[in-house]
Chain A
């Protein structure tokens, strides 16, 4: 490994981590502000520095300072090591899952071909699922080591929910895997570059609309957000992180937002063309009806990078909107939905895709 490769890798890590964490921090603010807008409230706007309020953005810093300076409480008679490990695990696993998501097409820097993702693994899609699966442990560990009955209930709910919905999640994406013939997220994103019937971008959603809806549903359940927030249903059992305070709670909290971003990134990459800008090819925009708009080739990676993050932000917004619109499921209803509706539908989708491929090829 040469120095330049090392520098490139370092820059990639820094850029990705900073981008994800900044977006996660912004999401904490967006969640408060957006819910406020939806509910005819004003929302967080008290924090100010030198009299400047910038629509409540300082609250991100205020929240961080608050969490870091709060007492770090460990319940008596609990396992201190596991209790501390759980939030670290949750945060790490949610963040590391993002490593497999390509934020742009490969580019050439100093003679090296650089992947715009941290982990150039050809089974990226499995990697993400593996990480989200392991994160069940974080939740269950945190819940169990808290020695609190509410937390335990939340942990059991989370375990049941996440394991059940992983099945539907995996199966709903298999259609795409069959279509593209790869598990590599970069290859999948590249395959979505063309046009369908001459005017539609060849995004996954147009091939697999049912698969998209199934994955969207399952992935909200996987991120444990409303209407699937039963592990942390704050009006019933308060949540699996009931006995956490300070920055340990903050890590669970941030992990949830990071998972949201990973979910948004996954939805973007699989179904919304990833980094693909509609109609943008290597030399410029090829619009329908023969229109053409040239773009300098140096600009294209930047456009793709921006397009990716734009789509991610859109999905984050969508997830927030869903969260503040719908009531919460009950545990048995959630299980019914997962096992009796999503799973059969995913299988039907899989069969239909297989039949389609067989007939068309």
Chain B
């Protein structure tokens, strides 16, 4: 189906298209840097292609090659449902630079900043190319292959002002002389809309005019900024006239770690991505590696993965809804929902032995089958969750104060949401019915009956309602899985992927050797050289893993597309024009999870 995309690109670009492939079903095109914007425009505007969503931007470093960096774009068309991967190699290895796509997709803003941060690739035309995850004083670019995994950074002196990365000292001092706070002001450009009523906010150069206002840093240490984040706001009274989000406080180098551990070892790191629904991350990672290996897991394993994912989804949404009710002062509703979540965590603990650090999947299977009495325990836990949810519905849905705080607050249009690359409940609240489980069913989701709830206004209220309904649907799916659970093995039979059972390991020499080989460094699960993008519906939306392999048992490049990065990048523009109290309410419904956002 999406072979058509490649044909179209070849037809339009001619010699600018260097090569194409469709490895593992992912259509990929390599174009010259000069053709990047042309092909991006073509992908976006050609009605037959209509790639309205820029899913992800990342890069791969090949230090031995002349064109060292390879920048990888993933596009998705919500209209046609097809995808394409576009790869570009900047000409220079020392000064890699590409055209920015920020004016085509709003989501490109933060994604390009992240690529600049991690690889040092510059994007010409980007309005505000600062580091995203790391701090401005960081030396080097950590995801380059020549940056050591144990690289240390010097201690930094106390900061004065707001240091910037992509700056020209002369230009900067000129700006400061004008009394402009670039880092904190609403920027003119595709990324952030400046809304300040009818007053002239910007001078002829496009920079904000000084005004009587004051700055307030909410976070990184703030009661509502759970997950550690800083939202800087510029206030006129209670009204926000400028906003910027500073992330990366929880950056632990997830991708670098995954590029230095075997595929099975990396599962442990995926627990820490979205730590509220770690099982979904486990499933996503395992599925991506299985895609690279070209194996299909047994039916029972698929069903167990669906079961685990859906229980996690309920826990995830419960946490999000609970947190956002707490932010607006409804502490009792918060505790009711957390009590429901507690039952689900106990359920997860029965399944994998851990509440948060689940590490449930393995490449080619899952760690363990269901424990005895799981069906009854699940029934009881769901009953409790439903009871708590109905209590909360009674407390909040008809509550005028709660409605006033949520309805019409933090609204975003469907077009903007798509342009930012927002997925999941956040996108669905704007009325776009995109759910990976329906759009590209995996693990047998097509067998189960469930609805995808959508909102219409894209405000906090719709996000609350969508999440509440998704929990009911998730429980419905889990119950269907339980009712139709197929028998059979829970792992693939391929001994080059899954070690033999312990009884064989301890009694036969072949078994012992097989086990030893698989766990020994350099002999683990080794997918053939290639690349794949695997994605699942996470708690916050499309959770993607882009993995490049070189035939060894360690990923050459492992990249995670965190679902909450896109809504976070949209947050500053959503918040501008609202009041201080709305920061908290809106931030709650974004469901920022530091683990996956900062990686």
Bound-state Cα–Cα, A150 to B333, Å: 26
Chain B contact surface mostly: helix
Interchain CB contact under 8 A, B329 and A153: no
- Interface readout for A236-257 with B: 1 if CB under 8 Å, 0 if not? 1110000000000000000000
B542 within 8 A of A: no
Whether A233 contacts B405 in the complex (CB less than 8 A), given A39-B336, A153-B580, A238-B223, comes out as no
B224 within 8 A of A: yes
**B182-225, CB < 8 A from A:** 214, 216, 222-224
Interchain CB contact under 8 A, A236 and B402: no
Closest-by-CB residue of B relative to A324 is: B332
Interchain CB contact under 8 A, B223 and A327: no
A149 within 8 A of B: yes
Whether A234 contacts B582 in the complex (CB less than 8 A), given A40-B335, A333-B404, comes out as no
**B330-359, CB < 8 A from A:** 330-333, 335-336, 339
Pick from B335, B339, B581: contact of A233, CB below 8 A.
B581
- Interface readout for B583-595 with A: 1 if CB under 8 Å, 0 if not? 1100000000000
Bound-state Cα–Cα, A290 to B331, Å: 50
Bound-state Cα–Cα, A331 to B238, Å: 8
Pick from A39, A235, A324, A327: contact of B402, CB below 8 A.
A327
Q: Which residues on B sit within 8 Å (CB–CB) of A38?
A: 332
Interchain CB contact under 8 A, A326 and B401: yes
- Stretch from A102-110, A169-177, A223-231 forming part of the interface with B: A223-231
Interchain CB contact under 8 A, A329 and B404: yes
Q: Which residues on A sit within 8 Å (CB–CB) of B405?
A: 327-330, 333
Count contacts on A: residues with CB < 8 A to the other chain: 29
Chain A contact surface mostly: loop
Q: Which residues on A sit within 8 Å (CB–CB) of B581?
A: 230, 233, 236, 328, 330-331
Bound-state Cα–Cα, A209 to B290, Å: 70
Pick from B335, B336, B399, B579: contact of A327, CB below 8 A.
B399
Interchain CB contact under 8 A, B580 and A236: yes
Pick from A149, A157, A229, A333: contact of B329, CB below 8 A.
A229
B367 within 8 A of A: no
Q: How far is the CB of B220 from chain A (nearest CB, A)?
A: 14
Q: How far is the CB of B92 from chain A (nearest CB, A)?
A: 45
Q: How far is the CB of B339 from chain A (nearest CB, A)?
A: 6
Q: Which residues on B sit within 8 Å (CB–CB) of A237?
A: 580
Interchain CB contact under 8 A, B401 and A39: no
B377 within 8 A of A: no
B327 within 8 A of A: yes
B576 within 8 A of A: no
Interchain CB contact under 8 A, B216 and A327: no
**B29-73, CB < 8 A from A:** none
Q: Which residues on A sit within 8 Å (CB–CB) of B333?
A: 327
Bound-state Cα–Cα, A119 to B330, Å: 40
Interchain CB contact under 8 A, B238 and A35: no
Interchain CB contact under 8 A, A35 and B332: yes
Bound-state Cα–Cα, A314 to B222, Å: 35
A325 within 8 A of B: yes
Closest-by-CB residue of A relative to B325 is: A327
B395 within 8 A of A: yes
Pick from A40, A229, A233, A326: contact of B399, CB below 8 A.
A326
Q: Which residues on A sit within 8 Å (CB–CB) of B401?
A: 227, 326-329, 333
Whether A332 contacts B327 in the complex (CB less than 8 A), given A38-B332, A325-B332, comes out as no
Whether A330 contacts B579 in the complex (CB less than 8 A), given A39-B332, A227-B329, A236-B224, comes out as yes
Q: Which residues on B sit within 8 Å (CB–CB) of A66?
A: none
Bound-state Cα–Cα, A35 to B402, Å: 19
Interchain CB contact under 8 A, A324 and B582: no
Pick from B216, B331, B399, B582: contact of A330, CB below 8 A.
B582
Bound-state Cα–Cα, A333 to B326, Å: 18
B328 within 8 A of A: yes
Interchain CB contact under 8 A, B329 and A327: yes
Q: Which residues on A sit within 8 Å (CB–CB) of B214?
A: 149
Bound-state Cα–Cα, A328 to B37, Å: 48
Q: How far is the CB of B214 from chain A (nearest CB, A)?
A: 7
Q: Which residues on B sit within 8 Å (CB–CB) of A40?
A: 335-336, 339
A41 within 8 A of B: yes
Bound-state Cα–Cα, A235 to B580, Å: 11
Closest-by-CB residue of A relative to B331 is: A324
Closest-by-CB residue of B relative to A236 is: B584
**B222-251, CB < 8 A from A:** 222-224, 238
Interchain CB contact under 8 A, B331 and A35: yes
Q: Which residues on A sit within 8 Å (CB–CB) of B238?
A: 153, 157, 331-332
Bound-state Cα–Cα, A331 to B235, Å: 14
Bound-state Cα–Cα, A227 to B328, Å: 10
Closest-by-CB residue of B relative to A149 is: B216
- Interface readout for A23-64 with B: 1 if CB under 8 Å, 0 if not? 000000000000100111100000000000000000000000
Bound-state Cα–Cα, A329 to B329, Å: 8
Whether A332 contacts B579 in the complex (CB less than 8 A), given A327-B402, A327-B405, comes out as yes
Interchain CB contact under 8 A, A235 and B399: no
Q: List 22 A-B contacts (CB under 8 A).
A: A35-B332, A39-B336, A40-B335, A150-B216, A226-B329, A227-B329, A233-B329, A234-B223, A236-B583, A238-B222, A238-B223, A324-B331, A326-B330, A326-B399, A327-B396, A327-B402, A328-B401, A329-B405, A331-B579, A331-B580, A332-B579, A333-B401
B binding-site residues for A, Cβ under 8 Å? 214, 216, 222-224, 238, 325-333, 335-336, 339, 395-396, 399, 401-402, 404-405, 579-584
Minimum-distance CB pairs A-B, first 6: A328-B329, A327-B330, A39-B335, A330-B581, A235-B224, A327-B329
